[in-house]
């Protein structure tokens, strides 16, 4: 199954390079969102907690602007049926998830680099904790966004439905990741942050399991 | 002999409260040319999609079996070749790239000789490296036949097989249907008299309205 899913991921990757369906919207959103924050702050120095919060707000809305493409583009182009004829549901989900995980990591890495360059209070004291939060948060974000994209792909008002449906599902993840990011700014140890880390690990495991169990029902009419 | 069989048991489909068809029973074994006919909206495409496992029935079931036993829905796509006007191939890739991608996602190696033969037969050989978005609707329809045949499936489902095709294309399709009908199960859903003439048996959907 891994080889088939990888083939599907490669198809999506090549397709993205040719159509720029998600990359352009994600890049534009990152630039616009960070510019708006910088303009609205002006010469003010914002606190660490606000910087950490805004970091995850940008990540959330950027994900909302581009991650739905995994399934929406197939549905809009009418290729969902073709995909159903060549692959099992688990292959499709794994391939799409792999694509979204890599897209989320690249996108969030750019956001983190821009934040550290442009926001003076974005100073990480506990770098391993920040990286672990970043990795676990990105996995959770990619898994949730992929399964929600599969649900909304068959709906009419996709654009509005995606953030509305994602918000309650992603809220526990975003809130915990904001807290962990603040811990990494403060230099809090892993020992003190283990409860929040356990929440994020639990969230990732639950979402991944639930997604694989539900995808069959979502994928077929 | 493939020992492949498709059995429909009391198959019914409702869209909301609207009954599409009711209590369809048939058994197709090893090789057959089976037609499905009926007026527009009678459920021809829906029935074909149910047979392919793409749409769930409201009642009853379709059982696919081969010599190893009943085929589970997750594996069904490996045994089916499907052609229909509503199937869309990836327009940002060439015909050759599309077929290579499909083979890889199916987990099989592309039989280049077989695929090239079909490309020649369907008069797409010279354009196989052009992007699909530059193809006419007839060329896209021909490519769908190669997509359906490339992995030598035990069942071929053709929904309106000759739509968008010129006379030359129709002739190739009729030849393919006749050839394939001698070695595997071929199901044709159509209103075209000429398409249905090829079939050994034709199911008239208006008889299953309840």
Per DSSP bridges, beta strands B59-66 and B5-15 are antiparallel
Q: Which pLDDT does position A69 carry in this prediction?
A: 82
Length of chain A: 221
Q: Which pLDDT does position A111 carry in this prediction?
A: 94
Minimal CA–CA distance to A133: which of A81, A59, A68?
A59
Mean pLDDT in residue range B119-126: 93
Searching chain B, which residue's CA lies closest to the CA of residue A221? B55
Chain B environment of A22 (Cβ under 8 Å): none
Q: Say whether pLDDT at A174 is over 80.
A: yes
Q: Say whether pLDDT at B37 is over 90.
A: yes
Q: How many angstroms separate the Cα of A175 from the Cα of each of A191, A200, B187?
A: 19, 10, 54
Q: Say whether pLDDT at A59 is over 60.
A: yes
Which range marks the domain in which residue B170 is found?
Answer: 5-208
pLDDT in tens, B48-58: 999 999 999 99
CB contact under 8 A, A87 and B74: no
Mean pLDDT in residue range B143-169: 92
Q: Say whether pLDDT at A96 is over 90.
A: yes
For chain A, what percent of residues have pLDDT higher than 90? 64
Q: Which of A16, A18, A85 to mutate to test the interface with B (most CBs of B within 10 A)?
A: A85
- String of DSSP letters for A12-27: HHHHHHHH-TTHHHHH
Q: Say whether pLDDT at A109 is over 60.
A: yes
CB contact under 8 A, B88 and A18: no
Q: Which pLDDT does position B179 carry in this prediction?
A: 92
Q: Which pLDDT does position A120 carry in this prediction?
A: 85
Q: Rounded mean pLDDT of chain B? A: 91
pLDDT in tens, B58-97: 999 999 999 889 999 888 999 999 999 999 999 999 999 9
CB atoms closer than 10 angstroms to residue A61: 13
Mean pLDDT in residue range A51-62: 91
The number of distinct structural domains making up chain B is: 1
- In the sheet that B32-37 helps form, which strands lie side by side, from edge to edge? B80-83, B155-159, B185-189, B32-37, B201-204
Give the model's confidence band at B1: pLDDT under 50 very low, under 70 low, under 90 confident, else very high.
Answer: low
The alpha-carbon gap from A77 to the nearest alpha carbon of chain B, in Å, equals 7
CB contact under 8 A, A18 and B56: no
Q: Rounded mean pLDDT of chain A? A: 91
Determine the Cα–Cα distance for residues B57 and B21; give it in Å rounded to an integer. 10
Give the model's confidence band at B173: pLDDT under 50 very low, under 70 low, under 90 confident, else very high.
Answer: very high
The alpha-carbon gap from A173 to the nearest alpha carbon of chain B, in Å, equals 32
- Kindly state whether A10 is in contact with chain B, defined as any CB-CB distance less than 8 angstroms: yes
pLDDT in tens, A122-160: 888 999 999 999 999 999 999 999 999 999 888 777 778
CB contact under 8 A, A77 and B74: no
Sorted by sequence, the CB contacts under 8 Å of residue A24 that are 6+ apart come out as none
Q: Which pLDDT does position B2 carry in this prediction?
A: 67
CATH value at residue B89: 3.40.50.300
pLDDT top residue among A68 and B160: B160
- Of chain A residues 77-106, which have a CB less than 8 A from chain B? 77-79, 81-82, 84-91, 95
Minimal CA–CA distance to A147: which of A70, A86, A75, A201?
A70
Q: Is the ipTM of this complex over 0.85?
A: yes
């Amino acid at each position: 199954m891994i080889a088939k899913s990888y083939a599907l991921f490669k198809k999506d990757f090549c397709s993205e390079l040719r159509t720029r369906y998600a990359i352009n919207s994600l890049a534009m959103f990152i630039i616009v969102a960070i510019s708006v924050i910088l303009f609205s702050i002006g010469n003010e120095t914002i606190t660490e907690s606000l910087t950490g919060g805004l970091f995850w707000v940008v990540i959330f809305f950027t994900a909302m602007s581009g991650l739905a493409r995994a399934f929406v583009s197939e549905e809009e182009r009418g290729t969902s049926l073709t995909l159903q004829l060549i692959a099992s549901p688990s292959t499709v989900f794994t391939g799409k998830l792999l694509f979204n995980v890599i897209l989320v990591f690249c996108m969030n890495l750019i956001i983190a680099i821009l934040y550290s360059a442009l926001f003076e209070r974005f100073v990480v004291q506990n770098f391993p904790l920040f990286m672990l939060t970043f990795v676990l948060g990105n996995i959770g974000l990619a898994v949730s966004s992929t399964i929600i994209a599969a649900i909304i792909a068959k709906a009419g008002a996709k654009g509005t439905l995606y953030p509305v449906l994602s918000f309650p599902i992603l809220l526990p993840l975003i809130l915990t990741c904001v807290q962990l990011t603040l811990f990494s700014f403060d230099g809090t140890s892993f020992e003190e942050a283990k409860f929040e880390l356990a929440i994020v690990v639990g969230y990732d495991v639950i979402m991944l399991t639930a997604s694989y169990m539900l995808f069959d029902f979502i994928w077929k009419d | 002999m493939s020992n492949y069989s498709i059995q429909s048991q009391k198959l019914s489909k409702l869209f909301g409260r609207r009954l599409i068809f009711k209590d369809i029973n048939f058994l197709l074994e090893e090789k057959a040319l089976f037609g499905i006919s009926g007026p527009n909206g009678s459920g021809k495409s829906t029935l074909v999609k149910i047979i392919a496992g793409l749409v769930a029935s409201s009642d009853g079931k379709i059982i696919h079996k081969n010599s190893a036993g009943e085929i589970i829905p997750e594996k069904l796509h490996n045994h089916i070749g499907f052609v229909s006007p509503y199937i869309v191939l990836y327009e940002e890739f060439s015909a050759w790239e599309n077929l290579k991608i499909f083979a890889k996602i199916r987990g099989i190696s592309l039989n280049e000789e077989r695929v090239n033969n079909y490309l020649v037969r369907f008069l797409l050989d010279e354009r196989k490296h052009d992007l699909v978005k530059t193809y006419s609707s007839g060329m896209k329809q021909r490519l769908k036949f190669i997509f359906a045949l490339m992995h030598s499936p035990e069942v071929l489902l053709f929904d309106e097989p000759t739509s968008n095709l010129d006379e030359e294309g129709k002739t190739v399709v009729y030849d393919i249907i006749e050839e394939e009908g001698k070695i595997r199960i071929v199901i044709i859903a159509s209103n075209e008299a000429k398409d249905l003439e090829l079939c050994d048996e034709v199911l008239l959907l208006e008889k299953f309205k309840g």
